[in-house]
């Protein structure tokens, strides 16, 4: 009876799902065509000598590729045991695989005992130089950068976890909740030396853990160099993590992990490289833009003409606004000229009203005829005053209406010109996107972003936001 055997783990438990066969043991997937080739019937025994004409070529690339995919899938799902098995097979087939060497050390830290925290950190440190030697030999610059980025991210996670594990265990045993020494030797530590021994052991562990990040930064500088500014950034991340571990330990236990000379050295190194990173970034961006516009002079001239035209429109708009302001000033003077005589007349009548009121109040009880005469004058003055106030308001409203019409006219002009400017800016932004796409395709480099992306077509993962998937070639939009 024919059966399918998984090339990765040797299991025969494969189920067909969504058009592909998936190994239930390691998760490796096979197409129908691949599954047919893998089908075997019974066992083939070969005795004696077999003669083969021509050349026999054994190609392990496909098997390695599937092993890598299976190992990464296992890591992604948290199945460390399966991932370790795959990386052991990869290491046996390809001893120069940096990924296998790295994760064979890293994955083992997930199952260590408390007594193995320090030795685990030391093992990671001891493996790093060989790993960076292998990465520096990779010809593909993108793959190099991707590898270093992955290592830095993983080491940040692992060292943080190891430090927390050490600190938590230290808190447990110093509270008297445990009867095991930090060295792992069973027995009860005497109360007099208990806390002191635990603190010293915890400090040794945390030093070895922090030293992993320090060493990683140093190896990036040694093997990768800082010609590519991304590597400088990765080293900065490592050195900063080292100093952060030291600072955190100092705040908790009033003791540094590193001596003053080392702290001062790396603090200065960090500041120097941060400044240089910013300088190089500005230079690189400037050089990239200059190169692009040099190669696209026609596009540059066209955009510059549009910019110049828009600036001219803005200048004309400002001139119109100045003219409008002058006209408004003239209207204001016109308003004053029309309103001022009315105001003077109103003020004069107001004085007469005040005098009449005063006279009215001074008249006695039996001077009714005089009071009636004064009252008639007051009514007359008040009527004249109200008529003048009405004229003043009408004059002001008339001038205000003229001003609003002028302002509305120029507001509409401003809005129209603003729309044209927005359209130009939008066009410039589109051209900037095209520029980045072109530069990316020409240099086969990706823009660096601190995120992870997954291609929906082939499932490949990226540490940058790509223009297109390096695995299957599908292009991404910026919204993707």
- DSSP class per residue in 309-377: HHHHHHHHHHHHHHHHHHHHHHHHHHHHHHHHHHHHHHHHHHHHHHHHHHHHHHS-TT-HHHHHHHHHH
Q: Provide the Cα torsion 42, 48, 54, 58; round to 10°.
A: 50
In a domain, residue 212? The reply is yes
Report the distance separating Cα 158 and Cα 124, nearest Å: 10
Contacts of 433 (CB under 8 A, 6+ apart): 478
- Classify residue 106 as exposed, middle or buried by CB count within 10 Å of its CB (0-12, 13-18, 19+): buried
pLDDT for residue 346: 82
Task: Please tell me whether residues 463 and 340 are part of one structural domain.
Answer: no
Helix (H, G, I), strand (E, B) or coil at 187: coil
- CA 344 to chain centroid: 69
In a domain, residue 45? The reply is no
Task: Please tell me whether residues 200 and 163 are part of one structural domain.
Answer: yes
Task: Please tell me whether residues 409 and 423 are part of one structural domain.
Answer: yes
Other Cβ atoms less than 10 A from the Cβ of 446: the count is: 19
Report the distance separating Cα 228 and Cα 139, nearest Å: 15
pLDDT for residue 210: 96
Task: Please tell me whether residues 214 and 286 are part of one structural domain.
Answer: yes
- Domain stop point among 271, 295, 319: 295
In a domain, residue 40? The reply is no
Task: Please tell me whether residues 441 and 459 are part of one structural domain.
Answer: no
- CA 214 to chain centroid: 24
Task: Please tell me whether residues 121 and 216 are part of one structural domain.
Answer: yes
What's the token pair of residue 336?
Answer: 């004053």
In a domain, residue 362? The reply is yes
Token pair 């990226």 in the structure block, residue: 462
pLDDT for residue 9: 65
Task: Please tell me whether residues 333 and 357 are part of one structural domain.
Answer: yes
Alpha helical stretches, state H, 227-296: 229-253, 260-295
Task: Please tell me whether residues 115 and 260 are part of one structural domain.
Answer: yes
- Domain stop point among 295, 319, 352: 295
What's the token pair of residue 83?
Answer: 């991932």
Over the stretch 167-204, which tens digit does the pLDDT of each residue have?
988 888 776 444 444 444 444 444 434 556 788 889 99
Contacts of 332 (CB under 8 A, 6+ apart): 399
Task: Please tell me whether residues 432 and 459 are part of one structural domain.
Answer: no
Report the distance separating Cα 240 and Cα 235, nearest Å: 8
Boundaries of domain holding 467: 446-480
In a domain, residue 7? The reply is no
What's the token pair of residue 371?
Answer: 């009071």
Task: Please tell me whether residues 379 and 303 are part of one structural domain.
Answer: yes
Instruction: Give the residue ranges of the chain where pLDDT is below 70.
Output: 1-4, 7-10, 26, 36-60, 175-196, 325, 328, 335, 396-480
In a domain, residue 410? The reply is yes
- Domain stop point among 256, 279, 295: 295
Helix (H, G, I), strand (E, B) or coil at 47: coil
Q: What are phi and psi of 4, to 5 degrees?
A: -105, 130
What's the token pair of residue 418?
Answer: 């603003």
Strand partners, 410: none
In a domain, residue 215? The reply is yes
**How many structural domains comprise the chain?**
3
Q: 2-4 and 14-17: which strand pairing?
A: unpaired
Task: Please tell me whether residues 383 and 365 are part of one structural domain.
Answer: yes
What's the token pair of residue 2?
Answer: 């024919």
pLDDT for residue 116: 92
Task: Please tell me whether residues 109 and 196 are part of one structural domain.
Answer: yes
Report the distance separating Cα 29 and Cα 27, nearest Å: 6
Residue 245 · residue 257 · CB < 8 Å? yes
- Classify residue 122 as exposed, middle or buried by CB count within 10 Å of its CB (0-12, 13-18, 19+): middle
pLDDT for residue 315: 78
In a domain, residue 109? The reply is yes
């Amino acid at each position: 009876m024919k059966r399918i055997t998984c090339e990765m783990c040797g299991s025969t438990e494969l189920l067909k799902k969504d058009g592909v066969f998936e190994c239930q043991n390691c998760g490796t997937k096979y197409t129908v065509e691949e599954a047919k080739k893998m089908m075997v019937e019974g066992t083939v025994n070969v005795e004696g000598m077999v003669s083969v004409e021509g050349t026999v070529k054994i190609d392990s690339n496909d098997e390695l590729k599937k092993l890598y995919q299976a190992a990464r899938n296992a890591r992604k799902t948290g199945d460390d045991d399966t991932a370790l098995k795959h990386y052991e097979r990869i290491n046996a087939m390809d001893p120069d695989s940096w990924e296998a060497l790295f994760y064979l050390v890293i994955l083992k830290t997930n199952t260590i005992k408390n007594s193995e925290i320090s030795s685990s950190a030391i093992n990671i440190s001891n493996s790093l130089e060989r790993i960076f030697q292998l990465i520096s030999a990779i010809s593909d610059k993108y793959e190099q950068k991707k590898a270093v980025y992955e290592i830095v991210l993983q080491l940040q996670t692992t060292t943080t976890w190891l430090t927390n594990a050490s600190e938590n265990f230290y808190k447990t045993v110093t509270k008297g909740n445990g009867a095991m020494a930090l060295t792992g030797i069973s027995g009860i530590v005497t109360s007099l030396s208990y806390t002191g021994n635990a603190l010293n052991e915890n400090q040794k562990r945390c030093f070895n853990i922090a030293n992993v990040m320090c060493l990683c930064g140093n190896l990036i500088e040694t093997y990768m160099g800082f010609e590519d500014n991304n590597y400088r950034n990765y080293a900065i991340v490592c050195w900063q993590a080292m100093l952060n571990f030291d600072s955190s330990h100092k705040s908790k236990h009033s003791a540094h992990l590193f001596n003053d000379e080392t702290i001062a050295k790396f603090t200065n190194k960090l500041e120097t490289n941060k400044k240089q990173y910013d300088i190089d970034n500005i230079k690189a961006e400037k050089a990239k833009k200059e190169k692009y516009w040099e190669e696209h002079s026609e596009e540059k001239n066209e955009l510059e003409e549009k910019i110049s035209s828009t600036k001219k429109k803005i200048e004309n708009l400002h001139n119109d606004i100045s003219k409008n302001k002058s006209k408004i000033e003239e209207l204001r003077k016109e308003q004053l000229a029309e309103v001022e005589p009315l105001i003077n007349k109103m003020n004069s009548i107001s004085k007469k009203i005040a005098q009449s009121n005063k006279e009215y109040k001074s008249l006695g009880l039996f001077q009714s005829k005089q009071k009636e005469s004064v009252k008639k004058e007051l009514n007359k003055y008040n009527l004249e005053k109200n008529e003048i106030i009405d004229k003043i308001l009408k004059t002001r409203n008339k001038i205000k209406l003229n001003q609003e019409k002028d302002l509305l006219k120029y507001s509409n002009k401003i809005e129209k010109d603003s729309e044209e400017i927005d359209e130009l800016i939008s066009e410039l932004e589109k051209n900037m996107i095209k520029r980045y796409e072109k530069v990316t395709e020409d240099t086969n480099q990706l823009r660096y972003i601190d995120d992870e992306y997954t291609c929906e077509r082939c499932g490949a993962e990226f540490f940058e936001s790509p223009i297109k998937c390096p695995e299957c070639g599908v292009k991404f939009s910026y919204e993707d």
